[in-house]
C-alpha cells in the first residue's frame, strides 16, 4: 500500500514537472518577456528603457535557462526558468507583476473560498444523491420521467443565469441577504448563504442525472436480482446494496475535486464579491498579471494530483476487492 502510494507520488511529481514545462513554454516562448512588457505598458509608453525597467522590476531580465555571466551553481539558479518555474515546487510563488506577495495572498484568500465551496460541496452531494436515489427508486414512473426532464432543463441553463436570478430574487426583490460582499466571523453566514445555495442548485441538473445513471446501471445487475429474490424490500436493496456498490463510480468523480475546493469558484466569487482565490484569479486575468496566473495554474495542478492520489486511497476504503501491492 505505502509502496503504491509512493509510486503515485513520484508519478505526481513528474506530472507537475510536465505542467511546469508546459506553462513555462506557454508564457515565455509564445511571447517573450519583451512582448509581455509591451502589452502591459500599453502602446504609448513603450520605449526600450521602459521595457527594460519593467523586466528588471519583475525579474524577467535574466536569461531564460543559462546565465553565461556567472559561474558555478548560479549559472543555473540566476535564470528566469529557475526563478519563475523551479521555485514553484518549494511553493515560493514570488511577487505578482503588480508587486504583491502571491504566497501571502493565496494563504489569506483560500479560506473564504473554502467557506463557500465546502458547504456547497457537502450539501450538493447530499441533495444530488438523494434526488438521484428518488428517481432510481421510482424508475420508469411519471416521477422519474419528469425528474429527468427537470434535470435536462436545469442543465441547459447557464450558471450565469442562476447567479443573476438568485441575486435578483433573494437579494433585490426579497432583500433576504446582501447581494454581494463578505465579512469575517459569524457574520459571514449572511454572505455565504446565497452563493452556497446557487452553487448547489446550478449543479443539480447534471449531477443528479449522472448519479441516476450510475444507480440504474447497478440496479440492472444480477446481485440486485438475487437480493430481491431473497425477499429484501426495495428500500433495503437500494440503500444497503445498490448505494454501497455505486460508491466506486461516485468516488471517482467526487474525491478528486475535494482539494480543488481551495481554489474556489471563479464566477461565483466574482459575482458575490467574495475575496477568495477564484476572484483573485479573475482579477489577475483582467489585469493580465501573468505571475499570478502561472502560480494558480501550478497550485491547481498540485491540488488535482493530490486529489488523484486520494481517489486511489479511497477505493481501498469502500471496496475490499481493491488492494494495491
Partner 1 sequence: MTPSIFAFRFELLWTDALVWLLVVTVAGYAAYARARPHLRAPWSRVSRSASGMAAAVILAAFVLVGLLDSVHYRPQLPPQDGKVAYATEVRSLLDRVVEPLRVKREKTYSAPLATHLYAKETLQTADGREVREYPRLRHGGAHLKNPELERTGDIALRAFRGLALALLLWFTLAVGLSAGVAQRAGIGIETAWGDIWRGRTAVPWRAVLCALAVLVVLVGPVAALAPHYHVFGTDKVGQDVLYQSLKSIRTGMVIGTLATLVMLPFALVLGVMAGYFKGRVDDMIQYLYTTLSSIPGVLLIAAAVLMMQVYIENNAALFPTTEIRADVRLIALCVILGVTSWTGLCRLLRGEALKLRELEYIQAAHAFGVSHWRIMMRHIAPNVMHIVMIALVMDFSGLVLAEAVLSYVGVGVDPSTISFGTMINSARLEMAREPMVWWSLAAAFVFMLSLVLAANIFADAVRDAFDPRLVRAGAAA
CA distance 120 to 233: 33
Tell me how far, at minimum, the Cβ of 161 lies from partner 1, in Å.
6
CB of 167 within 8 A of CB of 139?
Answer: no
- 76 vs 300 by CB, closer to partner 1: 300
Tell the smallest beta-carbon distance from residue 296 to partner 1 (Å).
6
- Between 13 and 126, CB nearer to partner 1: 13
Q: What are phi and psi of 101, to 5 degrees?
A: -80, 115
DSSP codes joined into one string, 188-235: HHHHHHHHHHHHHHHHHHHHHHHHHHHHHHHHTSHHHHHHHHTT--HH
Of 86 and 155, which has the nearer Cβ to partner 1? 155
Instruction: Tell me the sheet residues that pair with 95.
Output: 101
Tell me the closest approach of the beta carbon of residue 295 to partner 1, in angstroms. Answer: 10
Residue 95 backbone dihedrals phi, psi, to 5 degrees: -105, 150
Burial group, residue 2, by CB count within 10 angstroms (0-12, 13-18, 19+):
exposed
Q: Which is nearer to partner 1, 18 or 181 (CB)?
A: 18
Residues that bind partner 1 (CB under 8 A): 14-16, 18-19, 22-23, 26-27, 30-31, 35-36, 38-39, 152-153, 155-161, 164, 167-168, 172, 220, 260, 263, 266-267, 281-282, 285-286, 288, 290, 293-294, 296-297, 300-301, 304-305, 308
Cβ proximity to partner 1, 250 vs 277, nearer residue: 277
The H-assigned helical ranges of 78-219 are 80-84, 102-137, 142-155, 159-166, 188-219
Identify which of residues 237 and 277 has a Cβ nearer to partner 1 in the complex: 277
Provide, rounded to whole angstroms, the least separation between the CB of residue 38 and partner 1.
6
Nearer to partner 1, 59 or 171 (CB): 171
Burial (CB count <10 Å: 0-12, 13-18, 19+), residue 188: middle
Task: Please state, in angstroms and rounded to a whole number, the distance separating the CA atoms of residues 186 and 191.
Answer: 10
Q: How far is the CB of 10 from partner 1 (least distance, A)?
A: 12
Nearest distance, CB of residue 290 and partner 1, angstroms: 7
C-beta of 193: minimal distance to partner 1 in Å? 20
User: Smallest distance, Å, CB 43 to partner 1?
Assistant: 8
Cα–Cα distance measured from residue 282 to residue 261, given in angstroms and rounded to the nearest whole number = 16
Nearest to 299 by CA among 93, 9, 108, 112: 93
Nearer to partner 1, 243 or 306 (CB): 306
Q: Quote the cell numbers at residue 59.
A: 525579474
Under 8 Å between Cβ of 34 and 60? no
Amino acid at each position: 500500500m505505502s509502496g503504491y502510494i509512493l509510486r503515485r507520488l513520484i508519478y505526481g511529481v513528474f506530472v507537475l514537472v510536465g505542467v511546469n514545462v508546459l506553462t513555462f513554454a506557454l508564457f515565455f516562448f509564445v511571447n517573450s518577456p519583451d512582448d509581455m512588457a509591451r502589452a502591459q505598458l500599453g502602446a504609448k509608453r513603450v520605449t526600450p528603457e521602459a521595457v527594460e525597467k519593467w523586466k528588471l522590476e519583475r525579474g524577467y531580465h535574466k536569461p531564460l535557462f543559462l546565465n553565461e555571466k556567472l559561474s558555478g551553481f548560479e549559472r543555473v539558479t540566476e535564470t528566469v526558468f529557475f526563478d519563475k518555474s523551479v521555485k514553484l515546487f518549494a511553493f515560493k510563488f514570488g511577487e505578482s507583476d503588480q508587486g504583491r506577495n502571491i504566497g501571502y495572498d493565496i494563504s489569506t484568500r483560500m479560506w473564504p473560498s473554502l467557506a463557500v465551496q465546502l458547504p456547497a460541496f457537502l450539501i450538493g452531494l447530499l441533495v444530488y444523491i438523494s434526488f438521484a436515489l428518488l428517481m432510481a427508486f421510482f424508475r420508469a414512473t411519471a416521477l422519474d420521467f419528469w425528474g429527468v426532464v427537470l434535470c435536462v432543463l436545469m442543465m441547459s441553463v447557464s450558471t450565469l443565469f442562476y447567479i443573476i436570478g438568485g441575486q435578483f430574487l433573494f437579494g433585490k426583490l426579497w432583500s433576504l441577504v446582501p447581494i454581494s460582499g463578505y465579512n469575517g466571523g459569524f457574520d459571514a453566514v449572511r454572505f455565504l448563504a446565497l452563493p452556497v445555495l446557487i452553487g448547489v442548485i446550478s449543479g443539480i441538473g447534471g449531477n443528479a442525472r449522472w448519479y441516476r445513471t450510475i444507480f440504474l446501471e447497478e440496479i440492472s445487475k444480477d446481485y440486485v436480482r438475487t437480493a430481491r429474490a431473497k425477499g429484501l424490500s426495495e428500500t433495503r436493496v437500494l440503500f444497503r446494496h445498490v448505494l454501497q456498490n455505486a460508491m466506486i463510480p461516485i468516488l471517482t468523480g467526487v474525491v478528486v475535486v475535494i482539494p480543488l475546493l481551495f481554489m474556489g469558484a471563479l464566477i461565483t466569487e466574482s459575482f458575490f464579491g467574495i475575496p477568495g482565490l477564484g476572484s483573485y484569479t479573475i482579477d489577475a486575468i483582467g489585469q493580465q498579471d501573468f505571475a499570478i496566473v502561472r502560480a494558480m495554474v501550478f497550485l491547481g495542478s498540485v491540488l488535482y494530483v493530490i486529489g488523484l492520489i486520494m481517489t486511489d486511497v479511497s477505493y481501498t476504503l469502500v471496496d475490499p476487492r481493491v488492494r494495491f501491492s
